[in-house]
Amino acid sequence: MTRKARFEAIVRWFEQNAPNAQSELDFLSPYQLICAVILSAQCTDKRVNMVTPALFERFPDPQTLAAATPAEVYELIKSVSYPNSKAAHLVGMAQRLISAYGGEVPSDIDELMTLPGVGRKTANVVASIVYDKPVIAVDTHVFRVSHRLGLSEGKTPEAVERDLEAHIPAGLRPVAHHWLILHGRYICTARTPRCEECALASWCKSFKG
């Protein structure tokens, strides 16, 4: 099977079976989303959703967060991974939002990446979800699933991103990001993939059944 045919078959399956896939992070605004995505690095969405209600109650907007100290933020997020660095990133991110963007989360990928704690993956997530940008964020789930399914052989997240965006129509890229993440989170898991339950097995390069 060619890569093009594999992409077409897999995309078609997701369109039919998961047309409304979306983020499992809880948020009500672009500001809340960017905070949640920063917190989600190497941490589960479930854990992030446990700490953000108190965080957003204490710091409901970039202005209040920008005026906080990392120590104050740390006390509210200390159960997530790397809380010290994330607390500093959140405060720095809010301060730059105020100083450079008038408190508004920018839509441009390069501008998003100037915010502390925001790398390419986080920038793509925010731009995709908030602004419907035709980009695909490649995290560990997307990277793993893309390789196993034979959608990419890229050695870096950026290379995988290029392969996915070259074969997935622009209008489907925002939802495709969630397709691949959720498939990796619940079916194509890192240590014990549930291949026997996977509806994509017939198109998968890694399936040995």
Active site residues: 121, 139
Handedness of CA 69, 107, 141, 46 (dihedral sign): positive
Q: d(Cα 83, Cα 79) in Å, to the nearest integer?
A: 7
Q: d(Cα 206, Cα 151) in Å, to the nearest integer?
A: 11
Q: d(Cα 56, Cα 109) in Å, to the nearest integer?
A: 24
| Burial of residue 37, with CB atoms counted within 10 A of its CB: 0-12 exposed, 13-18 middle, 19 or more buried | buried
Contact criterion met (CB below 8 Å) for 148 and 136: no
Q: How far apart are the first and last CA of the chain?
A: 17
63: Cβ–Cβ under 8 A, 6 or more apart, which residues?
94, 98, 103
